[in-house]
Structure 1
Amino acid sequence: MFLCLSLLALSFGYNGGGGAAYAAPSFAKGADISWVSGMEASGYKWKDKNGVQRDILDILKTDYQMNSVRIRVWVNPNMNDFMNGYMNAEKAAELALRAKNKGMSVMLTLHYSDSWADPGKQNKPYAWRNFTFQQLMDAVYSHTVYVMNTMKNKGVTPDWVQIGNETNNGMLWEDGKASVNMKNYAWLVNTGHNAVKSISSSTKTIVHLSNGYDNELFKWNIGGLISNGANFDMIGMSLYPEAGDWSAKVDQTVANANDMVARYGKSIMISEIGMDYNQAAASKSFIQSIKTKIRSMAGGKGVGVFYWEPEATPGYNGGYNKGAWQADGKPTIALEGFKD
């Protein structure tokens, strides 16, 4: 049945049924907070800029005017990996409910892997490693429905769902590697899209690539998907500039975003941004700039900006340094850039 739905969708653009998502903000200002549950379980606590210990979600919402969160899900994360073992559907749904109860919208990011999926690795889940391509599409469909229903059973309907994460060269390699078989990649995107729509027809699906400034990459990837019949609603971009080049990279990314709108008519979501915590002043200016320019895109086609894991303290999880909190538990000034 799943395969039949996928094939029909390629021909007829099947949009599914199901319940409606609650209203998304007109412009999303948000953060990927996927590490929060694991950090809390290991004793992490956060302070605001005045040194007062508070719920991290309250700080993000009240102090920095964030209205949305982004949460990733892996297929079968290693539960012995304490920092990353929380990336399953159940933990994601619990965290999403916390955010919803604070009036925040939710973006779900499906990695379709047991661990990190990004431009350098798009490894199949171990349990899917020997599947035929038809079985792989069925697995994508059933896993996506499972995660959506896990969210729904907690009372959460995501406003946005990424079909993959930073799929610069496709996903679920080698079958879905875009440079080898763009059609397979398109069919996998369609399968995920259709699964989301079968649970919530109003949830928006996103194809997300890194290096938002790279117009050639986006023309090749997004154009290839569309020419092979893929259905999805939005284009997602990542941008991780340095203190010395953020202004130029923002301009290039906005130019690319406008080009994507002109070519394909898709709205643009900046799914990930970040900069080194030691460059907080530059990061604040960077955030303010990209937020303002994306929100100002013609026709309301720029729909949001998300900071990636701002709650991470210096060196967290093996050396991540692009969070926005300091070792003393207080934030840097970077997230002030989200405030209007």
Structure 2
Amino acid sequence: MKSIVTKGLLGTIAASFMFIHTNAMALAKGADVSWVSEMEASGYTFYNSNGNKQDLFAILKSYGINSIRLRLWVDSNYYNNVDDVINKAKRAKAAGMKIMLDFHYSNTWADPGHQATPSAWSSYDFNGLMKAMWWYTHDALTEIKDAGITPTWVQVGNETNDGMMWPYGKASKHMQNFTYLINTGYDAVKNVFPDAKVIVHLANCQDRTVLKWLFDGIGDHGAKYDIIGASIYPTTASGMTWQQAESACYSNLNYLVSRYNKDVMITEIGASWNDSNAQNIVSTMINYVKNVNNGRGLGVFYWEPEAANFQSYTMGAWNPNTMRPMSTLNAFK
């Protein structure tokens, strides 16, 4: 009896260890590199830490990055449209990376302060807007599928703290409409890629008030989604040190898991390229996500690490003077 009990206990311990190990190994260590095609067309060249010219995706992979996030804009003339995304996704696939697609449902940047309805859809009533959204999502994903790309995750909206496609989808005025839009996107995604995980994404992971308000609201109205995604830029969090912001975010991730029974991810993080704390900022957040309760923290994505001050954006992880990666990326190893 003692032998059987001992063996059973050891088996349980071993199984638990395997679960923890597997979860840690499966963590998505990602980067949004949507700018890469535009940067390369503008003459940017990337070098590895040894100063040798190398493909961006290969450099990122050498740092342990295993996933790529790509944004889609409606009616974009070239960059961030479906063809551009397919070309970048093929490069990610060739590098053995998983892919996240990020539908902004706008012709340009969508964030907490900007959620402009695509101009071609602006005259539609709400039913027409939902129909346009479904067909756009369905057709874009079908093209991507036909190109041999299978996304692991799909974001339905970007930083939708107050909904998307204003005014109809503005959550503070029309929470039910916003929920209908989420469900429209969800249904379109699942129609093409049944196994893809659908993400609802908010900014300011450190702000529990907004997170609770939004996810309570869409939950009360029957939203369908698989994962909660959050952005955090710790050095810009109002009234907090970066350490306080990340600690609050970690607490909130556990809160979201408990309250909504959803997996969670950090789909955007960043720090100034020359911030001496940048590597620590990222590694601390990765460790927090690894330790989310019940293994439900799925990954961390750096936003545009290759930016190198492109379009005056200074929170990449590349030295704009040498075009080599900064030590920030060591956090993903």
TM-based fold match above 0.5 = yes
Whether 1:292 and 2:287 are equivalent positions in the alignment is yes
**Which amino acid in 1 is paired with 2:330?**
E
**Which amino acid in 1 is paired with 2:114?**
K
**Which amino acid in 2 is paired with 1:269?**
M
Out of 309, 324, 332, the residue aligned to residue 330 of structure 1 is: 324
Q: Which residue number corresponds to residue 74 of structure 1?
A: 73
| Maintained 8 Å contact 1:169/1:179 | yes
After superposition, give the CA deviation of every residue in 1:49-83 in whole Å (9 maximum; x if it has no partner). 11111001000001x10000000000012x3xxxx
TM-score, length-scaled by structure 1: 0.88
**Which amino acid in 2 is paired with 1:228?**
H
Q: Percent identity?
A: 44
Runs (4 or more) in structure 1 with deviation over 6 Å come to: none
The correspondence of residues 16-55 of structure 1 with structure 2, limited to 5 A, is 26-55=26-55
Q: Which residue number corresponds to residue 190 of structure 2?
A: 197
- Partner Cα distance (1:216, 1:228) in 2: 19
After superposition, give the CA deviation of every residue in 1:130-177 in whole Å (9 maximum; x if it has no partner). 101000000110111112112101101110000000000000000000
Instruction: Measure how far apart 1:26 and its partner are.
Output: 2.0
| Maintained 8 Å contact 2:34/2:304 | yes
TM-score, length-scaled by structure 2: 0.90
* Local SS of the residue matching 2:277: helix
Whether 1:163 and 2:156 are equivalent positions in the alignment is yes
- Partner Cα distance (2:65, 2:326) in 1: 16
Whether 1:265 and 2:258 are equivalent positions in the alignment is no
Q: Which residue number corresponds to residue 105 of structure 1?
A: 98
Q: Which residue number corresponds to residue 109 of structure 2?
A: 116
- Partner Cα distance (1:260, 1:311) in 2: 31
Instruction: Measure how far apart 1:38 and its partner are.
Output: 1.0
Instruction: Measure how far apart 1:241 and its partner are.
Output: 1.5
Q: Which residue number corresponds to residue 311 of structure 1?
A: 306
After superposition, give the CA deviation of every residue in 1:107-141 in whole Å (9 maximum; x if it has no partner). 00000000000001100011000101000000110
The correspondence of residues 85-100 of structure 1 with structure 2, limited to 5 A, is 85-100=78-93
**Which amino acid in 1 is paired with 2:26?**
S
Long gaps (5+) in structure 1: 1-24, 80-84
Instruction: Measure how far apart 1:247 and its partner are.
Output: 1.3
**Which amino acid in 2 is paired with 1:325?**
W
What's the C-alpha RMSD, in Å, of the aligned pairs?
A: 1.1
- Partner Cα distance (1:187, 1:118) in 2: 19
* Local SS of the residue matching 2:71: strand
- Partner Cα distance (1:221, 1:140) in 2: 21
Aligned residue pairs, count: 305
- Partner Cα distance (1:114, 1:286) in 2: 32
- Partner Cα distance (2:212, 2:229) in 1: 13
After superposition, give the CA deviation of every residue in 1:77-105 in whole Å (9 maximum; x if it has no partner). 2x3xxxxx411011101111110111100
Instruction: Measure how far apart 1:190 and its partner are.
Output: 0.3
| Maintained 8 Å contact 1:75/1:125 | yes
| Maintained 8 Å contact 1:94/1:154 | no
- Partner Cα distance (2:269, 2:59) in 1: 19
Instruction: Measure how far apart 1:298 and its partner are.
Output: 2.1
**Which amino acid in 2 is paired with 1:47?**
Y
Whether 1:56 and 2:56 are equivalent positions in the alignment is yes
Higher relative contact order (CA 8 A, sep 6+): 1
